[in-house]
């Protein structure tokens, strides 16, 4: 009878297809770019505020909450370029200090880094501007630039009276322009020379949002 032969041949063909599919999958995974370590869209667990996975061509690294005592003031998301992402993608999550140190170093030469603040609690314009300026001040010697930053934030938020829940403050950092301030999509201006200091507000050992530091490591390291 020819039936057993046909069955055997059919089985061999099926196995061959399965093996080819497995091989293709293995190759696909092996050549996948380091971006697999990048964060997809994330939700800050503390405030339930969501951040998109990309912003103006930059990738989301992590999110975290800024607290003042028990008050969850705002959520912050950090975005930067692919080169910066690649610099920490192979570092194990267990090496948190090493990853954050490398991240801070890489950001110095990044084409752009953005910190997106989404308000969760109402804060007056003057108080919001002062709080951010006071965080930047100890991390730089350029006091004039800090005052410029403070005024930009104040001017941007004052137009709506206060930084109410849902207000979005965007800080675009680069070595060329310093820190560019936008409020609810409207660009206010730039404070020169504060890029590194502003990044350190969120990433150094005394960062204002430890949750953001942890999230960057968790989502971008191996």
Residue whose C-alpha is closest to residue 61's, from 73, 52, 74: 52
Q: Which residues of 86-113 are buried (b: 16+ CB within 10 A; e: fewer)?
A: bbbbebeeeebeebbbbbeebbeebebb
| pLDDT for the residue 12 | 53
- Of residues 157 and 18, which shows the higher confidence score? 157
Evaluate if residue 30 carries a pLDDT over 50: no
The model's pLDDT over 79-112, given as tens digits with 9 standing for 90+, comes to: 999 999 999 999 999 999 999 999 999 999 999 9
pLDDT tens digits, one per residue of 110-151: 999 999 999 999 999 999 999 999 999 999 999 999 999 999
- Whether pLDDT at 1 is above 80: no
pLDDT on residue 198: 98
- At 134 the pLDDT is 98
């Amino acid at each position: 009878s020819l039936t057993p032969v046909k069955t055997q041949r059919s089985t061999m063909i099926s196995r061959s297809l399965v093996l080819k599919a497995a091989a293709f999958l293995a190759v696909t995974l092996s050549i996948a770019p380091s971006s697999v370590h990048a964060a997809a869209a994330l939700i800050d667990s503390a405030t339930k505020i969501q951040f998109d996975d990309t912003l103006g061509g930059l990738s989301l690294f992590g999110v975290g909450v800024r607290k003042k005592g028990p008050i969850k003031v705002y959520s912050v998301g950090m975005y930067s370029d692919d080169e910066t992402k690649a610099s920490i993608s192979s570092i194990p999550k267990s090496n948190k200090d090493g990853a954050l140190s490398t991240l801070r170093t890489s950001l110095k030469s990044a084409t752009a880094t953005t910190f997106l603040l989404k308000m969760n609690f109402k804060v007056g314009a003057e108080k919001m501007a002062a709080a951010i300026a006071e965080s930047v001040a100890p991390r730089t010697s350029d006091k004039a630039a800090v005052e410029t930053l403070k005024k930009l934030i104040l001017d941007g938020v004052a137009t709506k009276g206060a930084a109410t829940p849902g207000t979005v403050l965007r800080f675009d950092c680069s070595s060329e322009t310093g820190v560019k301030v936008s409020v609810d999509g409207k660009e206010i201006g730039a404070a020169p020379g504060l890029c590194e200091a502003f990044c350190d507000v969120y990433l150094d050992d005394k960062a204002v949002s430890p949750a953001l530091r942890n999230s960057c490591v968790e989502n971008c390291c191996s």
